[in-house]
Structure 1
Amino acid sequence: MEHNKDFQEHRNRVHEETLETMEDVIQHLCPFKKKISKLFGINSTFIFRGVSDHNYQLQPSLYRGFEKKSHNRDVLLEELRLLKDFVEACDLSGTQIPADSYKLRIEINSDNTIFNRMMKEQSSWLVDGTLNEIIGLAQHYGVPTRFLDWSYQPLVALYFASIGAIKKMNNDLDKDYSDSYIAVWAYLPTNHSRVKVVDLPRSINSHISYQQGCFTFIIQDRDRFSPINRSDNDRSKTLFMDTYLRQDDLTNNIILAPKTLLVKLKIPYSLVTEIYKYCDAYSFNAATLFRGPHGSAEYTNEKRIMHKVEYDLNLKKKGLKPITL
């Protein structure tokens, strides 16, 4: 009975709530309101992550696609290969690499040195931050890494969640989205010994600067031959930050832990075009978050898609069928 009580207390550290109206969204996530502080029971600095499907868990892209029978060794080798390929590609394209140095090149280009270190350090490999800047740059340009993207600005998270949902709806206009939700996660950074928040210099990685971004990753307890096990009953092998915090006994991992560490806000798809326009009105859009010709083109295309989806949603409300071009 005592065990069940402790488990429930751990689960309470991840709070979930549904926001049914635009007013609820504004009250919780507008930087001038931040009603979300009441859900944490503390007025502090939070970080936010938006996803287009509330069923998505907080799993780094590096771990996606590995089957249950895969070993941690496979993930470590994949991470090493991707980082080496990314550095080589940056050289070929003339892209400046953060924290670049002669010493760094010798280490990353020495297969024996870096492989031996990776095998020796296991899950703590790269935890010292040696390659964090490179990992962050790779992550922001679509390379699978151990990092999860977050932002200190809640409207950035709302933008990414809403435009992701709008693109999904545009790809399948006939689908019923009445039971579909986006989600915005909010995390309270703490001195947790395993859940790490990484703030990188923003002068080279412009995406971090424009998006007020940061990253998280979990130091996993597993050796190189441990199977990748996604079971919610095995904390030491879980790859999801939300599952980890639900199950984690914080006694030895954190000092003065608040009751709630992570909040998940579900928002219905029926609000996504309104949310997108709200973010756009405050200049949180592709043009400002990505900048340059790429951001300008993306913004132009996103607005076209948004207006089309908005028009189709209005047709559905009137009982009419959306027009397929």
Structure 2
Amino acid sequence: MAELEPLRRFYLKSNENGLKIYPTDTVSTFDEFAIDELIKGVINKSWIPNDLENVAALAQHYGVMTRLLDWTFNFNVAFYFAAVNALNNICDTGASDKSMVIWALNYDELSRSSVNKSLKFVIPPYIDNPNLKAQKGILSYWKSDPINEEDMYKKRIDRTPLNEILQDNYSGDEIALYKIEMPISEAYKLLTFVNTNGYTTASLFPGYNGVASECNESEMINRARHILGQ
């Protein structure tokens, strides 16, 4: 219910405003006030329904809360987001002695292992979204088992992080998930590295918004450099 309502609103409002939205029978056949009927239609199915995956991926990309995790096929993109978030954290807290973490998922191995029945990957059509195309985005989620209507209000939200889920469910010979940790003080050097490779705010968010955001970020970056003494 917590996930379905925001997705339903996102779908209906996008369609109402003439925005391109992926077809889905899960929400499109119900009017705005039919949430009870909608819940009955999905309660006995695994979540997320296949026909709602691309809608959920698009909603997640624009800030709607879902269970999806954002990944990228391009390590430069991952480094960019790690560095920018770290520099923001330095400005907010003034702390330069923490660490930043980058997770690397063994996509090929997990796609062919036994966990692929539960660990699902969503690669939205890049042609419809220049941001996703620039960021080489891919999303993942752990599929929920169906529950019956009597238990729907008793079941608690499972917030177990993916690394712990894989530890309990993956038994392959290869490493499934890598944790790369580095000092937050290296954030500016990391951002400089990816910028040199052509990965900037303007290039990863194509359009005027990306250019404006990059211009506005310069003050934040200079403040972080001052704190770091770089």
Bin of the TM-score, shorter chain as denominator length:
0.7 to 0.9
Over the aligned positions, Cα root-mean-square deviation in angstroms equals: 2.3
CA contact (8 A) 1:287 1:299 kept: yes
CA distance in 1, matches of 2:131, 2:177: 24
Give the aligned residue type for 1:294.
Answer: N
CA contact (8 A) 1:108 1:114 kept: no
CA distance in 1, matches of 2:29, 2:23: 11
Corresponding residue of 1:266 = 181
**What's the CA shift string for 1:131-164, capped at 9, x where partnerless?**
1111111101100012110000011111111100
**Match of 1:264, SS?**
strand
1:136 aligns with 2:57: yes
CA distance in 2, matches of 1:289, 1:131: 26
Superposed, 1:1-325 pairs within 5 Å as 77-97=1-21, 99-100=22-23, 105-106=28-29, 111=35, 113-121=37-45, 124-127=46-49, 129-173=50-94, 175=95, 177-178=96-97, 180-189=98-107, 190=110, 191=112, 192=115, 193-221=117-145, 223=147, 224=152, 225-228=154-157, 237=158, 239-248=160-169, 250=171, 257-314=172-229
- Structure 1's unaligned 5+ residue stretches are 1-76, 229-236, 251-256, 316-325
Inter-CA distance 113–294: structure 2 relative to 1 (3 Å threshold): same
**Match of 2:229, SS?**
helix
**What's the CA shift string for 1:16-44, capped at 9, x where partnerless?**
xxxxxxxxxxxxxxxxxxxxxxxxxxxxx
CA distance in 2, matches of 1:244, 1:108: 36
Give the aligned residue type for 1:105.
Answer: S
- Structure 2's unaligned 5+ residue stretches are none
CA distance in 1, matches of 2:170, 2:23: 39
Inter-CA distance 134–221: structure 2 relative to 1 (3 Å threshold): closer
Inter-CA distance 102–148: structure 2 relative to 1 (3 Å threshold): closer
CA distance in 1, matches of 2:140, 2:198: 26
Residue 93 of structure 1 and its aligned partner are, at CA, apart by 3.7
TM-score (norm 2): 0.85
CA distance in 2, matches of 1:227, 1:156: 34
CA contact (8 A) 1:84 1:108 kept: no
TM-score (norm 1): 0.62
Inter-CA distance 240–102: structure 2 relative to 1 (3 Å threshold): closer
Residue 117 of structure 1 and its aligned partner are, at CA, apart by 2.1
Q: Which structure is higher in helix share?
A: 2
Residue 305 of structure 1 and its aligned partner are, at CA, apart by 1.5
Inter-CA distance 226–306: structure 2 relative to 1 (3 Å threshold): same
**Match of 2:51, SS?**
coil
